[in-house]
Amino acid sequence: MGEVTMQEEKSGRRSFVRIRTVTIEALGDLRKVWDLDVFRHTARELKGGIFEVQGLLTEAEIGEIRSQGYEVEVISDADEVARQRLKELHRQENE
């Protein structure tokens, strides 16, 4: 089996996540170096000099940045969130 391309990696199952690291530069690298789908408006400094940002990552991306020392907390499965929102919209249309 060949290597997984970045496009194939980005098309996999995605999760909403919180990513934490100890430097603001490492937080910036998530977008600049890794080209990850992070939500810059959620970036903040926590107590103890920890920096956090939320994003939408594939399992492969999560594994890769964890291996580079980032702490990643999975918040929810993006596909499940989308399904729930569609159900809500459908319910509202039928009222």
Domain harbouring 86, CATH code? 3.30.70.340
- More confident call, 84 vs 8: 84
25 contacts: CB under 8 Å, gap ≥ 6: none
Helix spans in the chain (H)? 6-10, 24-32, 59-67, 78-93
Residue 82 covered by a domain? yes
Token reading at 16: 């909403």
Residue 2 resides in a domain: no
What is the tally of structural domains in the chain?
Answer: 1
Query: pTM, whole model, 2 decimals?
Result: 0.76
Residue 1 lies in a domain: no
Is residue 2 over pLDDT 90?
no
Does residue 33 lie within any of the structural domains?
yes
Range of the domain at 68: 8-93
Which among 54, 46, 51, 65 has a CA at the least distance from the CA of 17? 54
38's CB contacts (< 8 A; 6+ apart) are: 19, 30, 31, 53, 54, 55
Please check whether residue 3 lies inside any domain of the structure. Answer: no
Split at pLDDT 50, 70, 90, the class of 1 is: very low
